[in-house]
Chain A
Amino acid sequence: MRNAFFVLVIAVVGLSVSNAYHFQLLTFIGINTLLALGLNMLMGYAGQISLGHAAFYGLGAYATAILTVHLNWSPWLALPVAVVLTVVIAFLVALPMLRLSGFYLGMGTLGFGMIGYIIFREWSRFTGGDSGLVGIPSLELGPISFASARNYFYLVWAVVLVCLLLCERLVDSRVGRGLRAIHDSEQAAAAMGIDTSRLKIQIFVLSAVFAALAGFLYAHLVNFISPGSFDFLVSVRIVTMVVIGGMASIWGSLLGASLLTVLPEFLQAFADSEMIVYGLILMVIMIFLPQGLTRGIMDAYEGARTRKASKSASINS
């Protein structure tokens, strides 16, 4: 029901918007939603933080860029290679990393993210170094060209939709229950017979693949990538999207990503005060809605309904 509604919204938006800038903005929201969604599975459900997700984002982007620009591969061939590469690297990273916990896991993933960033920057023969890599082709599928802003919008949101559905199914499954058990207490989960380390690694890999997918879409949207788009601040921004939207909430990722993508556009009007206002908004949201926007809005709605209900109850009696 909700999903059908979502499809309808995408279709209506796609038909009613005509301006390329709005499409571009919506497409960026979609890409950020993918990033937030992946990290939310890891943070919100498995309770593991990552401050290095930008590296996977960059991995997806650079893999497809290098294969298409230097080796003239078709992007559709580069995509599976990028995904497999991400799976392998994420698995290798997760093995030692997930032994860490709390802030130490944050530190470990941060280190991984920095190493990734430095590789993007220094391996300049292939990555173009700091100046970036130009000439990434636009996507095409038979007669459909995704160079058009509208088509790319549909493509990105179709991917987002598939990933959202996948996550919804996952959360409601045995895996999801296992994850929530890990989140509450790893020992208890293990005692119940859940293979916690295996589950954590699987989720880590899944969230890395989402990020790589987002990177793939970003690279073919902008047709250019440079290391600056995948640095530590980007990792922090993804974490912020997850927390602002609401941890352990699939639709919260969508909300968080939308807010943090659109907000800077509106704040342009503040010119030099933009940073101050942005910082304040982050703080205020977290202070008053520490569980994120989705939960905050739902709570407010529930609160209003119960108040109304109790009011009518008191009138009746």
Chain B
Amino acid sequence: MNRTMSLIGKSLAVLLIGLLVVPAAAWCKEPYKIGGLFSVTGPSSFLGDPEKKSLELAIDEINARGGIDGHLLEAVIYDTEGDPGKTNLNASKLMTKDNVIAIIGPSLTPTTLAIVPLAEKQPVPLISCAAGILITEPVKPWVFKTAQSDVLAVAAIYGHMQKKNIKKVGIITVESAYGESGRDQLTAQAPKFGIQVVQAETFGAKDTDMTAQLTKVRSAQPEAVICWGTNPGPAVIARNFQQMGFKIPLYQSHGVASPKFVELAGEAAENIVLPAGKILVTDQLPDSDPQKAVLKRYVEQFTGRFKQPVSPFGGYAYDAMMILAKALEGTEGKKDAVRKRIEEVRGLVGVTGTFNFSPQDHNGLGPDAFVMVQIQNGKFKVIDQ
């Protein structure tokens, strides 16, 4: 309770300072309304909660600068609870009742796909924070996304394996859209890297013990195991993996790229290799890395304001807002112009990576969005650039 109060106090202070700094011109113009749809509660709150906070952060940052062309930004954020039906309803509320210029979110692939038809019909620019490639492939004029596609993460893992001369892998994926997309990509890209998937297993997000699946994976004699999921399941797998005395390397996905994973898995996290966004290893980046400054500022602001460690997911919403802010400049809030200008955003350095949009590419990220890291002594260490 106290924390909430102090938070409110601080936000008020920020607002007040903002009001003093904002040039007088901003007062005359109507604010731009930006819609946000995140799974703030429910099973995917680990995505939606930091995303919502990051969007608020980005908006306050832009408003402190004086807004866009003198227009302040105003966020209208709804909780989807990860339910497609509810997301659809809330999206329609944002579009027709709140009359937002653009929507940021939702957090999940199914919830995004549930509002893509609405966004196209209305139309309203939509910048999703979900990873699924179905969102931007095939390209839909009004739909963009900022999260890295699993395509890149899988390529990063397989690239690393190729160097280690690993040819046979067992995979174990979570039963969700995230795990499914990981499994599809892992199987689809394997031949390209000369790798064979010898056993594919799945686990329920809330299963308590995964030794049965791991036993089956072990019997296929792979040279490495890849686990694809988001906390806490993969931490249970890491523990079971260690307890069962596996002697082969364990790879995880970027879905667990946060200190929380190490906290949950404890010693079992040692030596696990995974692809991660650069936010996880900000300190280890060379100063020449263009993202370093952006990441540092974001991390400082987020931890300073919300008194909690940054998540690898919040950046999706932060980047989406920054892209939108750039696109909004000089459009006077005309949706058609905004949409067109998002496609023209090039070289925007964000938290997740450097975005280069085009009419053919509505995700805009390149392979540099990921680095391979290994957990050593409870810390994430970059192992190849």
Contact = CB atoms under 8 A, between A and B. Distances in A.
Task: State yes or no: do A and B touch (Cβ within 8 Å).
Answer: yes
Given A21-B97, A272-B41, A275-B41, A131 B85 contact: no
B134 A131 contact: yes
A274 B41 contact: yes
Secondary structure of the B side of the interface?
A: helix
Contacts of B110: 130-132, 224, 226, 228
B137 to A, nearest CB: 11
A130 B179 contact: yes
A20 B95 contact: yes
A226 B84 contact: yes
Interface in A102-158: 121, 124, 129-132, 134, 147, 149
A149 B385 CA distance: 51
A131 B116 contact: no
Contacts of B95: 20-21
Interface residues of B, number: 31
B79 interface: yes
A274 B176 contact: no
B89 A124 contact: no
Interface in B194-233: none
Most-contacted residue by chain A among B89, B110, B134, B179 (CB, 10 A): B110
B54 interface: no
Interface in B126-149: 132, 134
B86 A132 contact: no
Interface string B164-188: 0000000000011101110000000
B113 A131 contact: yes
A132 B113 contact: yes
Secondary structure of the A side of the interface?
A: helix
Contacts of A24: 88-89, 92-93
A101 interface: no
Contacts of B175: 121, 130
A124 B181 CA distance: 11
Contact of B84 (A22, A121, A228, A275): A228
A75 to B, nearest CB: 15
A216 to B, nearest CB: 15
A264 interface: yes
A124 to B, nearest CB: 7
B66 interface: no
B88 A222 contact: yes
A226 B89 contact: no
B84 A222 contact: yes
Contacts of B88: 24, 221-222
Contacts of B32: none
A274 B41 CA distance: 9
A21 B121 CA distance: 14
B252 to A, nearest CB: 19
B181 A21 contact: no
A225 B175 CA distance: 17
Given A131-B109, A226-B113, A21 B92 contact: yes
A224 B176 contact: no
Contacts of B83: 228-229
A268 interface: yes
B92 A129 contact: no
B96 interface: yes
Given A131-B132, A226-B177, 10 more contacts: A21-B89, A24-B89, A130-B175, A130-B179, A130-B180, A131-B109, A132-B177, A134-B116, A228-B110, A274-B79
17 contacts: A20-B96, A21-B95, A24-B92, A121-B175, A130-B175, A131-B110, A132-B110, A149-B92, A222-B85, A222-B117, A224-B117, A226-B113, A226-B177, A228-B84, A264-B86, A268-B78, A268-B79
